[in-house]
Chain A
C-alpha cells in the first residue's frame, strides 16, 4: 500500500461491482441507516404502487408518471452507488490485506524452556500465548517480542519491502500478524485474538464495514432529517391549499417536489464522504481506529511534535570548526577529520564532509596511515585515533577537558604546558562551547596529544521546508509545540529556527502529559505522536494520538491512529485530511440546500399553472411545459448525485489561508454555485428532454 497507488475514481474494477451493490443496498434495513434516502425510497414505493394501479385501471399521463417513478428510483440507486464506489475503493485494499491473513501455522511453546513447541492453527491462539517464530515463518498474530531480535518484512501492511528490526525490550517490540520474519528467532507473546488483529481491523476499516457515524455526522443527520420534516410539512399541506384555490395536484407531482426539496444530494453522499475520508488516511498509510479520531484531527488546536525526527533531521551535522587562540582552523579541521575517518556515525561522517568541503582536506586511508581507531565508549565519552604516536580525541567538552587535565595521556613533553596558559585555553574553549550551546548546537571538543585545539560545532539540522509548514499550520490556527529532551537554552534556539510557537524542554513523560492536560483544560484539542511505552499515557490523553507502527504495543493501543510509515511529520497531513472531511460535508450540504431555490422556480409554477395561470411568470427558466419542468427538476436532482461522487471521494481541497478567506471562497463556490448551477442544469435538461420528446 504505497501512497502512489491511488486508485482512479473511474476504475472499472470498482464501478462495475458498485452497480450491483447499488441494488443490493435497496434492502430496507440498509437504507434505514440513511434517513433522507429511506424517505425517498418510501415515497418511491408509494408512487410506484399508485403508478401500477393507474396502469391497471387506466390513468392519464402514464408515460410522464412512469418517467418520474424511474428517476425517483434512480435517485435512491445513485445514492447507493455512491456509497458502493467509496466502499469499493477500500475493498481493493482489503483484498490485498486478506492475502496476508491466510491461514498460518504457529509454533506454540509448550514448556517453560522456550524450545518445545507444537504446531497449532494461527487462529486458535489466545491472548497471552507465547509462540516461537523462526526465520521464514509468518508471525501468526499480533504480539510483543519478549525475547530475541529479528529482521521482519512488514511489506504486507506498510508496502515497504525493506526489512525492519524488531527486538524485545525497547520501543521496537511490537510485531504484526501476517508479517514475515526474515532472520533470527524471536519469542512472541500474543496480544490479539483471532479476528481482532491489526490486519483484521485494517480490513474492516478500509472496507468501511465498521463505518459508525461520527459525532459530527450524527449532528448533520439530525439537521438533514429536520429539513426533510420541514419539507414534509411544506409539501403535504399543498393539496389543501390547492383545493381552497379550486385545483388539485397529482400525488406524483407532490412527491417530485418533495424529493427535489429535501437534501438528497448531501443525504446520498454523506456516507461516501466519511468512507472516503478514512480511505484517504489509509492511502497515507495511517490507520484511524475510529472516524471520531479523524474528525478530531480537523479540530486540533495544538500539535505536540518531537524535535528529533520531526523538526530536525535525526542526526546532528558539523557546520563549523572553532579553534582556540593559537590554532588555525586548518589545523583543527585536519585533526578533526583524522579523528573522524573511521567514525561511521552520521556526526562523524559530517565532520569529514565539512573538512573536505570547507578546507579541501581529502579523505585519507586509515590503513595506509597505520592508524588505529579508538571507538566511542560510554565511560570515556570520546572517540578518536592513534597514529604515529600521536593521539587525537574528540568528544563531549567535559570529557575532553577531563582527559586533558587528568593527564591520562602518557605522552612525554606535555607537562611542559604551563598551568596558566592551559587554564586560559580551557576558559576560552568553555566560552566557545557555551556560545554554541546557546545557538542550539552541540559542541564537540578536539584535543591532540593533550593539547586543546578547538571545538566542532554540531548542529541540529532543521528539516528543509519545515518552517513553512509551521507557518501554514499557524494560518490554520494550529499552535505547534516542540518536545525535546534538550536543555531550555538549546531548545529555545532550535524552536526559534524551526519557527514553532512554543517548546517543552527537558521533556519527561510526566510533563508531556501535564502539558496536554493543561492545553485541554483551556478547551483545546491536542494531537501528538509517539512510539515508546512511556508515551502511552500521553497518547491516550491526547485527542489525536498517532502511534508509530515501529512502536511498542502499549503505544499502539493507546493511540487512536497508527502511522504505518512511522513518520511523525504526517501529523500535519492527518490534520489536513480531518479538515478536508468536515469541509466536504459542509460544502455539499450548503450546495444541496442552495439548490432548492431553483427547484422551487421549476416546480411551483408548473404545479399551480392549471388553476393560477398567472404564476407562469415564476417560470423564469422558460421551461417548455409543466411536465418537462417537473421532470427536469427530478432528473437534475438525481444526476447531481452522480456528478458529485468524484468530489465527495476526493474531498474539497483545504487551503491554509485562514478561516475567513476559506469560508468566503467555499461559500462562493458551493453556496452561490449551489444557487446558480441548478438553474442552468435544469434548463439544459429541459431542452434535451423536450428535444427527445420525453415530456
Chain B
C-alpha cells in the first residue's frame, strides 16, 4: 500500500461526500413534487405521461396497490425483454446480424436486467443487437433503477409521515426518478464519456488490418449512453464482455473515477433524502456513516491483500502486488477500489477480473454481496436493504433501553419483524441452497473452471451475485448452461422481489403508526452509538450465516496460499 494509493481513495471519498448533500436536496425536491430547475421542461411531459397512464400525481396508494403496480410493471418488462431477445434476429438495428438469443439465456437475461442485476451469461458484443442493447437492456437499466428508487421513497415516507395509509404512487415515483434524476444526469455523463473517447455510434463493427496483416473486427456501438446508465443505475451490465476493463468502456483514470462515483452517487444521496424527509439530516449521515465504516474496512482489506500479492510469486522472485487480471492503466489501487464499490453497491460492473484477485481480495466482494449490498448499495435497494438491518438492530438493542423499540418514532413490532426476517432470510436461501445443490451436481461442477476451494468460490460467487442482484462474475465459471441460467434467474428473482414485497409491507405497516415524539428515553439514532450498533448487527446477523461457506472457499484458499499452494 502506498500513500499515493490512499490519497486516490481519499479523493474518491471526498468527492462522494461533497455530492451527497446537493444531490440529496435535489432528489428530495423531486420526490416531494416541488419545483426544480428542470420543472419548466419536464412538468408538461410528466403530466402528459400521467394522463396517458390514467393516473395523477395527487393520487396515492395503499402499499398493496403500490406493490401490485410495481410487480405488474416488472412482469410486463420481463416479458417484453424476453421476446425482444428471442426475436432480435428479425428486428431492426442489427448490423452485426446477431442470431436470436436462446430460451434459457433469454429467460436469465430478461430477469437479470429487470431485477437490476445485469448478470451476463453472455458476451454483449457477440450476442446482442443494437436494438436489444438500447430498447431492451438500456430501458430496463433505467426502469429497474427507478423501481428501486420508488421503493426506497415509499419506505422513507413511512417514517416521515406522522400517520396515514398511502405510501405514494408507484407510477409517479418511478416517472420522476427516470425523468428528473436518471435521464438528465445520464445525458450529461454520456457527453462526458464521448468526450473521453467512448464510442457512440449506430455504425457496424469496424474491420481493421493489424500491423501483422491479420484482419480484426473491432466492436463499437452506442456504448457511451449505455455506460452512463449502467453505472448511475447500479446495473453493471457491460456493452462489451470485458465490461469496464475494456478500453472503449473505460478509457482512462478520469472515466474510471467518474464511473466509480456514479455507482455510489444516488445510493449515498438516498441517505440524505431520508434525513431531509424525516427532518433531521443527521439521521441520514448516521446511516451513511455505518456504510462508510464497512466500506473502508473492505477497501483496506482488498487493497492490502492485492498490494501484498502472492507469496508463491514472491518466492519465484516476482516482487510486488497481485496484477493478475488487472488493467495496467488502473493498477492495484483503482482496481481494488472499483471491486469494493461495485460489490458494495449492486452494480456488478468490473474493471478487473475478481476471480484473479488474491483469496482475501476476492473474499471482500463476496461478503459485500452476502451482507445484502447495504454498503451504499443499489439505487434505492441499498437503502431499503439497510433499513431491514436497522429494524433488527433497533429491535434487539432498542429493548435494552427499556422501551418497545422504535425507529424515528415508529414502533417496531411483530409485523415489521416478520417482514424484516423474511427479507433477510431469502438471501441465504437463494445463495446457499443453490450453491449447495450445484456443488454436488456433477453437471454443475463441470462448469467450474478451477479445482479446489477456488472452484467452490466460483459457484458461490455466482449465486451470491445473482441473489444480491449484483451481476458481477468471478470468472472461470461457464454459466451459460440451462442449469445455471435457470437457477441464477430464480436466485435473481428471489433476491429482488422477496425483499421488495416485505420492504413495502413494512412501509405500509409503519405509515399507519403514530409517530411517538422523541424523549430522553428514546435511543438516539443519529449518533456514533447507533452507527456502531448497526455495523455490528450487519456483520453478525448478515455475515455469520456465511462463515462456514466462506471458510471452505476464500479463507481456506488464502491459508493454502500462505502455505505455498495455489489453485
Contact between A223 and B396 (Cβ–Cβ < 8 Å)?
yes
User: Could you say which interface size class chain B belongs to?
Assistant: 35 or more
Query: Is B35 in the interface zone, CB < 8 Å from A?
Result: no
One of B166-174, B217-225, B297-305, B515-523 contacting the partner? B515-523
* CB-CB contacts below 8 Å: B46-89 with A: none
Say which residue of B401, B436, B453, B533 sits within 8 Å of A237 (CB atoms).
B436
A134 to B347, CA, bound (A): 84
Contact between B517 and A523 (Cβ–Cβ < 8 Å)?
yes
One of B151-159, B464-472, B553-561 contacting the partner? B553-561
Contact between A596 and B544 (Cβ–Cβ < 8 Å)?
yes
Contact between A476 and B520 (Cβ–Cβ < 8 Å)?
yes
Interface of B is mostly: helix
Query: Is B545 in the interface zone, CB < 8 Å from A?
Result: yes
Contact between B552 and A245 (Cβ–Cβ < 8 Å)?
yes
* CB-CB contacts below 8 Å: A645-695 with B: 652, 654, 658-660, 662-664, 666-667, 670-671
Contact between A590 and B456 (Cβ–Cβ < 8 Å)?
no
Contact between B529 and A660 (Cβ–Cβ < 8 Å)?
yes
Contact between A241 and B552 (Cβ–Cβ < 8 Å)?
yes
With A237-B432, A593-B541 in contact, is A615–B551 under 8 Å at CB? yes
Residues of A within 8 A of B541 (CB): 227, 593
A582 to B559, CA, bound (A): 44
Q: Separation in Å of the B554 CB from the closest CB of chain A? A: 12
A261 to B546, CA, bound (A): 12
Contact between B401 and A583 (Cβ–Cβ < 8 Å)?
yes
Query: Is B329 in the interface zone, CB < 8 Å from A?
Result: no
1/0 per residue, CB under 8 A from A, across B376-415: the answer is 0000000000000000100111111111100001001110
Contact between B544 and A298 (Cβ–Cβ < 8 Å)?
no
Question: Which of B402, B422, B524 lies at the interface centre, i.e. has the most chain A CB atoms within 10 A of its CB?
Answer: B402
A289 to B417, CA, bound (A): 26
Residues of A within 8 A of B455 (CB): 244
Query: Is A87 in the interface zone, CB < 8 Å from B?
Result: no
Residues of B within 8 A of A235 (CB): 548
Residues of A within 8 A of B549 (CB): 234, 237, 241
A295 to B413, CA, bound (A): 12
Residues of A within 8 A of B517 (CB): 301, 522-524
Contact between A586 and B398 (Cβ–Cβ < 8 Å)?
yes
Say which residue of B402, B414, B529, B547 sits within 8 Å of A600 (CB atoms).
B547
Say which residue of B397, B409, B533 sits within 8 Å of A523 (CB atoms).
B409
1/0 per residue, CB under 8 A from B, across A214-249: the answer is 011011101101110111011111111111110000
Question: Which of B162, B398, B416, B540 lies at the interface centre, i.e. has the most chain A CB atoms within 10 A of its CB?
Answer: B540
User: How many A-B pairs fall under 8 Å by CB?
Assistant: 219
Query: Is B175 in the interface zone, CB < 8 Å from A?
Result: no
Contact between A231 and B545 (Cβ–Cβ < 8 Å)?
yes
Contact between A580 and B402 (Cβ–Cβ < 8 Å)?
yes
A316 to B436, CA, bound (A): 78
Question: Which single residue of chain A is at the shortest CB-CB distance from B440?
Answer: A240
Residues of B within 8 A of A245 (CB): 453, 456, 552, 556
A586 to B401, CA, bound (A): 8
Say which residue of A215, A244, A522, A585 sits within 8 Å of B399 (CB atoms).
A585
User: Could you say which interface size class chain A belongs to?
Assistant: 35 or more
* CB-CB contacts below 8 Å: A582-624 with B: 582-583, 585-587, 589-590, 593-594, 596-597, 600, 604, 607-608, 612, 614-615, 617-618
Query: Is A578 in the interface zone, CB < 8 Å from B?
Result: yes
With A583-B399, A597-B544 in contact, is A295–B404 under 8 Å at CB? yes
Contact between B392 and A223 (Cβ–Cβ < 8 Å)?
yes
Query: Is A144 in the interface zone, CB < 8 Å from B?
Result: no
Contact between B397 and A590 (Cβ–Cβ < 8 Å)?
yes
* CB-CB contacts below 8 Å: A22-69 with B: none
Query: Is A463 in the interface zone, CB < 8 Å from B?
Result: no
Interface residue ranges, B against A (CB under 8 Å) = 162, 392, 395-404, 409, 412-414, 416-418, 421-422, 424-425, 428-429, 432-433, 435-437, 439-440, 445, 453, 455-456, 514-517, 519-524, 527, 529, 532-533, 536, 540-541, 544-549, 551-552, 555-556, 559-560, 563
User: Other CB < 8 Å A-B pairs besides A233-B425, A589-B399, A612-B552, 19 of them?
Assistant: A226-B417, A230-B424, A234-B548, A242-B552, A245-B552, A257-B548, A523-B515, A523-B517, A580-B402, A586-B399, A589-B396, A593-B396, A594-B540, A600-B547, A652-B400, A654-B402, A659-B403, A662-B402, A664-B529
Interface residue ranges, A against B (CB under 8 Å) = 215-216, 218-220, 222-223, 225-227, 229-231, 233-245, 257, 261, 295, 298-299, 301, 474-479, 521-525, 578-580, 582-583, 585-587, 589-590, 593-594, 596-597, 600, 604, 607-608, 612, 614-615, 617-618, 652, 654, 658-660, 662-664, 666-667, 670-671
